[in-house]
Amino acid sequence: HIMNGAVENDSFIVKEARQDIYKLYNTSQVFISPEGDWTKGVNNAVRERSQQRTCWVRGPYTSPYFIATQFRHLVLIASGIGITPALGVMGQYPGFSRTKVLIWMVRSKVMLKFFIPLMEDSHLALIFYTGKEKLTREEVDNLHSQGNIRVQQTRPESLGDTIESVIVRFENTFEDKTQTNSTWNFHHTHLDTIQLRHKESWCVMYCGGSVTVKNLLKGFTKENSLGFKAEFFDW
């Protein structure tokens, strides 16, 4: 049923929905209000084409991010609204049950300010804001105050270098905590100096709509023996 907002249809829709509670129809019903682009598209398609077609339901499908259970350290990379599964992972593994690093590329100031309070579970959040409306110094300071968050108002010069610097930084911290003899301390400067078994405990996970970013990350992680999983969308 497509709801067009007309008052005379509201009671009919409610009546239909209530009747279905009692299994009067051997069907499943979906009530859609055409408020956005895709719902308006559905509305137009239903009105213009035959409505007697069978509707096939496939799924549910497990999110590719289920792979997070297999790794101790997670680098969650997102572009735009692709941040939502990253937030889900951070919420699933609270505290220090996993190392959680978020790298988010976003151009919507509204979206940025909305999601910032939900990043408190990340051990480090690097945000690359590329919106036309620049953030003021006060706005940046406010964002930084809400956690271990760093905002840069440009694209990353190199996403691979950013990931490498993050992993190297955390691996150095891990080793500082485990080595009791200070003369043994060695600080890594590149991924190739980190033991293979340690690199293999890291997974880079990407959600977004950029084929370029996805392919770049796939190549980078393969070259450096890191785990990789992507959830891709193009809408």
pLDDT band at 45 (very low <50, low <70, confident <90, very high): confident
Half-sphere exposure of 124 (CA within 13 A, CB side): 15
pLDDT of residue 152: 94
Residue 223 has pLDDT above 60, yes or no: yes
Average pLDDT over residues 29-36: 71
Cβ neighbours, 10 Å, residue 21: 7
Collapsing DSSP states into helix, strand and coil, what is residue 231? strand
When computed from its CA atoms, the radius of gyration of the chain, rounded to whole angstroms, is: 23
Distance CA 213, CA 226 (A): 16
Q: In which residue are the tokens 């785990």 written?
A: 227
Residue 24 has pLDDT above 70, yes or no: no
Residue 60: cis peptide before it, omega within 30 degrees of 0: yes
State pTM to two decimals: 0.72
Cα 36 to chain centroid distance, Å, stands at 22
155-169 residue pLDDT tens: 999 999 999 999 999
Q: 64-232 has which fold?
A: Rossmann fold (3.40.50)
Q: What are phi and psi of 105, to 5 degrees?
A: -105, 120
Distance CA 82, CA 113 (A): 15
CA–CA distance from 129 to each of 78, 146, 154, 207 (Å)?
Answer: 12, 16, 6, 17
**Domain boundaries in the chain?**
7-48, 64-232
pLDDT band at 188 (very low <50, low <70, confident <90, very high): confident
Query: Beta strands 73-79 and 124-129: pairing type?
Result: unpaired
Residue 97 has pLDDT above 50, yes or no: yes
pLDDT of residue 181: 47
Residue 15 has pLDDT above 80, yes or no: no
pLDDT of residue 61: 64
100's tokens? 């959680």
CA–CA distance from 223 to each of 100, 101, 120, 216, 217 (Å)?
Answer: 22, 20, 31, 11, 10
